[in-house]
Chain A
């Protein structure tokens, strides 16, 4: 009985995911790559991955880390540096005699390496900072992200990072997957989020949640705190690195100064809106966030006349004000966010849904 139920769920979820992918693909075919809805789908998917990776740390493991922008930067730069075509290097690195890196690799291995490099950075940074707790951890990770941003722009390693100049002409969504940018983004993001979900529901994910709920009890149950925190930190950064690389592919050019702490704050707020400890919440919130800021609330930024009457308040920047007020309302009055700690597929099933998993 239970087994059958589990199979049915599996078939249903595969069908749902397939539908989403087909819908996303069709949207691009119908509306064209340059349409607003496609932009939202691309950027929303990238943010979804980054938000889920941050949720793995902040929501599931209870580590309040604010280093996400730093790891995204590492991923984005690794990707761009490795994929700029040889013919274009002289132009991009014009101040650094074409730069040190004199080879180019394909975009798929570069995506993986982007994640791996971010993970290596996380492993090194994690050694000292994961011994810190709570807000000290937050401020230390924030500090490391700032250090990364400063070091990347350091003139001495300019031949590698192009200093504070733009990185560009690397393969972007539009150049590698013309006409299928959304499908490609969704595939990469889908695989990554799927892997994170599998991890969260494995015995290691349960250990993470135990650490979040009660560090002292978790340790008394034989869970090595440092080892597991480091694991969560490195895995989260791996996916943040891939997310950064995807963001680079979406943007088309790259500058270290755009990876400021305000970017981390934005992602954190997405995670909070979606619900700390809910993967589907983070995904939904990412698309809502991007759609609102890039599209639905755009009208707030343009001065509008209705006949002779000028609509008050509407002016550049008003969109972000409305937006941040909405966020504050969520933070203050709807602290559980859209999903709380539930997942989309657990809704309706209640707690019994977990019983199904237990016997499976």
Chain B
């Protein structure tokens, strides 16, 4: 990565992130950076640590070592502590030793403007499609439980409902608004998850395998859809994806992970030519 890129108003920056569970190093010294308006893909074989990286960014996991910055502000900083001091197998433990650890809960990180979808769809299963999106507007509501219960917040409630309905229209699910979320077909559930994520007003959208289980045509449509919402909502997109066509089509840059390590970074053209990637990843697939 060129020096010029770093530190300049990046949206997201990971610095020497290591995530170790007991003796298992899931991510090893990962550094990456995402600039405003980019679509960046994170690829790698199964078990490479991609979802773990997302979980470190969104506060589900506390990274063992390293720092995560969002719009230049630290949202997770840590160094090995307690038992981990002895067990730690990663690098750069000294670098963050004197930095005060920062731990934000997932909800706080969502408040700051990072929204996500889940690899194994996690919709609110007893709720309708509309209610799923509506729930995600809750974090921006200003009324407290009393004013909300006593219906003193009619204007706000109306705005929340309108926003949820507009988002359902945006993702093409207005017809299914009153269906139970889990009764929708798979592809629609994925789009509903995206609508729900958008309802939190993010600036950075993390998509965890948005095309999983889709056929080639659906995947193509999804690609256009992602570009479309990125432009419409002025987003930056960071996605994990296995469908190489989709990744190569819409990504500005790609990071490649293998066994928790970053093995390559570059434009789709560069990645396609990279011998390490072909060996570790594409090579495996051809076998």
Contact = CB atoms under 8 A, between A and B. Distances in A.
B107 A223 contact: yes
Nearest to B58: A220
Contacts, number: 120
B107 A224 contact: yes
A4 interface: no
Contacts of A199: 145, 148-149
A219 B197 CA distance: 12
Nearest to A232: B145
Contacts of A206: 127, 131, 134-135, 138
Contacts of B108: 224
Interface string A215-231: 01111111111000001
Which of A198, A202, A207, A277 counts the most B-chain CB atoms under 10 A from its CB? A202
Contacts of A203: 134, 137-138, 141, 143, 148, 153, 157, 160
A352 B135 contact: no
Nearest to B124: A213
B138 A358 contact: no
Contact of A216 (B60, B125, B134): B60
A219 B107 contact: yes
B125 to A, nearest CB: 5
A127 B136 CA distance: 25
Interface string B221-248: 0000000000000000000000000000
Contacts of B125: 213-214
Size band of the interface chain A makes with B: 20 to 34
A250 to B, nearest CB: 27
Interface stretch (B5-13, B110-118, B212-220): B110-118
Contacts of A355: 177-178
Contacts of B60: 216, 220
Contacts of B130: 354, 358
Interface residues of B, number: 47
A341 B180 CA distance: 13
B124 to A, nearest CB: 4
Contact of B135 (A198, A210, A224, A231): A210
Interface in A228-286: 231, 235, 277
A204 interface: yes
A228 to B, nearest CB: 9
A351 interface: yes
A209 interface: yes
Given A206-B135, A206-B138, A216-B60, A221 B127 contact: no
Interface string B10-22: 0000000000000
B102 to A, nearest CB: 17
B207 to A, nearest CB: 13
A209 B136 contact: no
Contacts of B124: 209-210, 213-214, 217-218
B139 interface: yes
A351 B107 contact: no
Interface string B53-70: 000001010000000000
Q: Is the interface of A mostly helix, strand, loop or mixed?
A: helix
A202 B138 CA distance: 10
Interface string B137-157: 111110101001111010001
A199 B151 CA distance: 9
A214 B122 contact: yes
A195 interface: yes
Which of A212, A222, A341 counts the most B-chain CB atoms under 10 A from its CB? A222
A354 B122 contact: no
A269 B178 CA distance: 32
A231 B145 CA distance: 9
Given A199-B145, A354-B128, A222 B134 contact: no
Contacts of A218: 124, 135
B58 to A, nearest CB: 6
A206 B118 CA distance: 20
Contact of A222 (B139, B150, B165, B180): B139
Contacts of A219: 105-107, 110
B203 interface: no
B182 to A, nearest CB: 10
B200 interface: yes
B2 interface: no
Contact of B178 (A195, A202, A216, A352): A352
A209 B107 contact: no
A210 B143 CA distance: 18
Contacts of B165: 358
B149 A220 contact: no
Interface in A65-114: none
Contact of A221 (B141, B179, B180, B200): B200
Nearest to B59: A219
A202 B107 contact: no
Contacts of B122: 214, 216-217, 220
A355 B197 CA distance: 22
A222 B138 contact: yes
A209 B138 contact: no
Given A207-B138, A220-B58, 9 more contacts: A198-B151, A202-B149, A204-B138, A209-B135, A219-B110, A220-B116, A222-B111, A223-B107, A223-B139
5 contacts: A198-B149, A221-B115, A222-B138, A231-B145, A358-B165
Among all A-B residue pairs, the 9 with the closest Cβ atoms: A222-B139, A222-B110, A217-B122, A202-B148, A213-B124, A199-B149, A219-B106, A221-B136, A198-B149
